[in-house]
Amino acid sequence: MTSTQIKFAADENFNNDILRGLLRRNPRLDIVRIQDTELSGADDPSVLEWAAQEGRILLTHDVATITHYAYERVRAGKPMPGVFKVVRGVSVGSAIADCF
């Protein structure tokens, strides 16, 4: 039986301390930072399209606009693997603990 690994993409402004902590807890996590791809500086709809094509759940602090575009994708019947919103200001430890 083959297990499927969940793949993530971290939005460009996502807290790198949280990413490092997540990877410390589970070094096998598959997380790609948007700034490390050709999408560096891209708009939200482009990031969500790429994440959908790659089958990646987007990690973001952007609760203002990403959610709007994610719902637009769902209403349009487009693929939407998901969005995890992490509120800015939450402690790094809390954010990491909430993910596990």
On whether residue 14 sits in a domain, the answer given is: yes
Give the N- to C-terminal CA distance of the chain in Å, as an integer: 23
Q: Is the pLDDT of residue 3 over 60?
A: no
Give the pLDDT confidence of 39-96 residue by residue, as tens digits: 999 999 999 999 999 999 999 999 888 999 999 999 999 999 999 998 888 889 888 8
Q: Which of 47, 48, 39, 41 is nearest to 76 (CA)?
A: 48
On whether residue 21 sits in a domain, the answer given is: yes
Q: Is the pLDDT of residue 20 over 60?
A: yes
**Model pTM above 0.85:** yes
On whether residue 76 sits in a domain, the answer given is: yes
Quote the pLDDT of residue 57: 95
On whether residue 1 sits in a domain, the answer given is: no
Token pair 């790094």 is at which residue?
A: 92
Q: Which residues pair with 9 in a beta bridge?
A: 32, 58
Domain of residue 44: give its range.
Answer: 7-99
CA distances to 3, 4, 10, 39, 96 from 34, rounded to whole Å, are: 25, 22, 6, 6, 19
